[in-house]
Amino acid sequence: MNLEPYVAVSGMPGIYKIVNSRSNGLVVEDLDSAKVKFCPTRKHQFTPLGTVAIYTLEDTEPLNEVFKTMLEKLDSIPPVAPNSKNHELFEYFEQILPNWNEDQVYASDIKKIIKWFNFLNTRGLLTTSDEEE
């Protein structure tokens, strides 16, 4: 599962694909409409999904591994709604990543992870490594 070309842009909903980079920003493509837009660094902050990791008790777990687990358990343990109560989010995340660090991972982080997963999964952009090969 390759998350390298995808980025979350502050102030803009959803996930975008990186088309090009400039010294003063990124050129991104909307995954739904395929429209290309320039996002300046003066106005936006960028979160490349390929660099995101979740704190665990031992070290960190890359986001693509968390997404892979969520995808594998999708039928038996569907993701909770991102606007669920905190204890429901924590219970769900406990089933996905049992050794997550409760002191460093907040409910807002889990909400973002679930939103990103749902966004990419509904568009068919999440695949396991077996399907990629």
What would the mean pLDDT of 4-19 be, rounded to a whole number? Answer: 94
Alpha-carbon gap, residue 120 to 100, rounded angstroms = 22
Burial class (CB in 10 A: 0-12, 13-18, 19+), 81: middle
Q: 1: pLDDT confidence band, cut at 50, 70 and 90? A: confident
Dump pLDDT digits (tens) for 85-129.
Answer: 999 999 999 999 999 999 999 999 999 999 999 999 999 988 765
Percentage of the chain lying above the pLDDT 70 cut: 95
Helix, strand, or coil here: 132? helix
